[in-house]
C-alpha cells in the first residue's frame, strides 16, 4: 500500500506537469499569429517520403496530427507545427487531391477594372485569367476586411454588410468548370490543364484551391492602396460541395484569417475512417471522384481506409493557428455530421496544444434547410466574424454545439488515442 506521502508526491507531480503544459500552451497562445503574409509558411520544408498504399501501417483510430511523417516524435511548438503542417499538406495533395502548384509573384499580373479584380497567371507561355467584382461596404473606412464566397456565399449577406466588410466570389469555373450538373469540360480539358498538362490526375479541389490563391496573389500584389482590401483580415466561406472547397482553400493558404465551412459533408471536415462506420453517408468509396484523385479510392477503398496516412481532422487542423468555424446540419444524413463532430474534436486538440482553442469552433444544429443558415446560428458566425475579421479580441468564440446524442453515441475519445 502506498504511503500518504507517495500519493501526495504523485498528485503534486501530475499537477505540476499539468501546470507546465498549460503554461506552455498559454505562452504559445500569446504569440500565435492570427494570419500570415505568405501562402505557405512551410514551403521550405521537403516533402515526406510516401511509399505505396500497401506500405502504410494500418491505423484504425484517427491518425496523430502531431506525429512526424517519419513516425518518430511529435511537433510540440508552433515552430515545429509549421513543419508538421507542411507534411500534412503534402500528404493530402499526394494521396487525395493532387498537386497545388506554387506560382511566383512575378508570374502574376493584376489590375482593377472599376470594382472588378482581374488577375492573369502566366505559366510556361500559357495564361489563365480570373476576375471577380468586389462589393465594397457603404460605410466604414478602407482598407476593408473581405469575405470571399467559394462559388457562392450562403451566409446571409447582412452579417457582413452591417459590419462594413467587403465581399466577393471566387468563380471556380474559371479554373475548372466541373459540376455535378451540365456539361463540364472533363479531366485534361479544363483551363487549369492548359497551364499544367502533367497534372490531369488532379482532383478539382486542388485546382480550385490553386485558383483561389491566385486571387489572393492579385490582391496582395496590388496592395491596399489600390484594392481597398485589408490582407490581414480575409475570410473564405462556402456550403455543401463549396463548403469542402472553402475548407481546402482556407487550409492550403495561410493568408486566410478565417475559414467558415458550412455543411461540407464527407470529403470535407468529416473523417473518412469515422464516416465508414455510419449509415448512408458520403464516404471515401461513395464520393464524387471528379473532386479527388481516382487513385485515392484504388489505394484506400473499403477497409484499406485504415492505411491512409492521414485523415480529415488533419485537413481541418491545417487551419491552425488561424481561425475556423464548422457549421453542420444533422437533418441531412448524407453530410455525415457525426463524423464531422468526431473530426472537429480531434482537430481541436491542435489548437488546444498551442493555447488558442478559442480560434476553432463547431455548430451542428438541426431544423433548417440545406445551406440555409438558421437565425439560431447567427451568433456563432457573428462572433467569429467580429473577432477574426474585425479584430475584436474580447468576443467569446468558444463554440462547441452539437446534438446531445452525439456526445454519447459518437464519443471522439474512442478515436483519439494520442
Catalytic residue among 151, 206, 240, 343: 240
Q: How far apart are CA 346 and CA 273, in angstroms?
A: 13
Where does 203-264 have alpha helices with state H?
204-222, 224-227, 241-251
User: Angle at Cα 243 formed by Cα 258 and Cα 47, nearest 5°?
Assistant: 70
Give the three-class secondary structure for 148. strand
Helix %, strand %, coil % for the chain, to 5?
Answer: 40, 15, 45
Is 122 labeled as catalytic in the residue annotation? no
Q: Which residue has the cell 480560434?
A: 359
Q: What is the CA radius of gyration of the chain?
A: 21
Is 370 labeled as catalytic in the residue annotation? yes
Q: Are strands 166-170 and 144-150 parallel, antiparallel or unpaired?
A: parallel
DSSP state of 357: G
Residues in the chain, total: 418
Q: How far apart are CA 200 and CA 198, in angstroms?
A: 6
Q: How far apart are CA 241 and CA 263, in angstroms?
A: 8
Q: Are strands 360-364 and 323-328 parallel, antiparallel or unpaired?
A: parallel
**Backbone phi, psi, residue 210, to 5°:** -60, -50
- 387 exposure class (CB count in 10 Å sphere: 0-12, 13-18, 19+): buried
385: which residues sit within 8 A by CB, 6+ positions away? Answer: 147, 159, 160, 163, 165, 235, 258
- Which residues participate in catalysis according to the annotation? 240, 370
Amino acid at each position: 500500500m502506498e504511503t500518504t506521502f507517495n500519493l501526495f508526491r504523485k498528485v503534486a507531480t501530475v499537477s505540476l506537469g499539468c501546470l507546465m503544459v498549460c503554461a506552455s500552451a498559454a505562452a504559445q497562445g500569446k504569440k500565435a499569429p492570427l494570419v500570415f503574409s505568405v501562402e505557405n509558411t512551410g514551403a521550405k520544408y521537403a516533402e515526406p517520403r510516401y511509399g505505396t498504399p500497401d506500405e502504410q501501417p494500418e491505423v484504425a483510430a484517427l491518425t496523430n496530427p502531431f506525429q512526424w511523417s517519419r513516425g518518430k516524435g511529435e511537433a510540440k511548438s508552433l515552430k515545429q507545427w509549421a513543419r508538421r503542417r507542411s507534411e500534412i499538406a503534402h500528404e493530402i495533395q499526394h494521396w487525395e487531391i493532387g498537386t497545388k502548384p506554387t506560382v511566383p509573384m512575378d508570374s502574376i499580373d493584376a489590375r482593377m477594372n472599376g470594382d472588378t479584380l482581374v488577375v492573369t497567371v502566366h505559366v510556361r507561355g500559357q495564361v489563365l485569367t480570373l476576375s471577380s467584382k468586389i462589393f465594397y461596404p457603404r460605410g466604414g473606412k478602407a482598407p476593408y476586411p473581405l469575405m470571399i464566397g467559394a462559388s457562392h456565399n450562403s451566409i446571409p449577406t447582412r452579417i457582413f454588410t452591417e459590419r462594413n466588410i467587403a465581399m466577393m466570389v471566387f468563380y471556380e469555373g474559371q479554373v475548372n468548370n466541373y459540376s455535378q450538373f451540365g456539361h463540364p469540360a472533363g479531366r485534361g480539358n479544363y483551363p487549369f490543364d492548359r497551364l499544367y498538362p502533367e497534372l490531369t490526375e488532379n482532383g478539382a479541389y486542388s485546382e480550385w484551391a490553386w485558383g483561389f490563391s491566385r486571387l489572393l496573389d492579385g490582391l496582395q500584389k496590388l496592395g491596399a492602396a489600390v484594392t481597398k482590401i485589408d490582407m490581414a483580415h480575409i475570410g473564405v466561406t462556402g456550403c455543401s460541395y463549396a463548403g469542402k472547397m472553402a475548407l481546402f482553400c482556407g487550409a492550403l493558404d495561410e493568408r486566410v484569417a478565417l475559414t467558415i465551412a458550412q455543411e461540407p459533408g464527407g470529403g470535407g471536415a468529416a473523417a473518412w475512417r469515422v464516416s465508414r462506420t455510419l449509415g448512408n453517408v458520403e464516404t471515401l468509396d461513395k464520393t464524387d471522384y471528379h473532386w479527388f484523385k481516382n487513385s485515392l479510392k484504388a489505394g484506400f477503398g473499403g477497409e484499406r481506409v485504415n492505411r491512409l496516412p492521414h485523415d480529415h481532422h488533419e485537413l481541418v487542423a491545417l487551419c491552425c493557428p488561424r481561425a475556423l468555424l464548422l457549421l453542420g446540419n444533422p437533418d441531412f444524413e448524407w453530410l455525415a455530421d457525426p463524423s464531422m463532430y468526431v473530426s472537429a474534436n480531434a482537430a481541436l486538440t491542435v489548437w488546444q496544444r498551442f493555447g488558442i482553442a478559442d480560434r476553432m469552433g463547431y455548430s451542428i444544429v438541426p431544423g433548417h434547410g440545406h445551406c440555409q443558415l438558421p437565425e439560431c446560428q447567427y451568433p456563432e458566425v457573428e462572433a467569429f466574424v467580429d473577432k477574426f475579421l474585425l479584430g475584436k479580441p474580447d468576443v467569446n468564440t468558444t463554440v462547441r454545439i452539437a446534438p446531445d446524442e452525439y456526445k454519447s453515441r459518437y464519443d471522439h475519445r474512442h478515436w483519439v488515442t494520442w
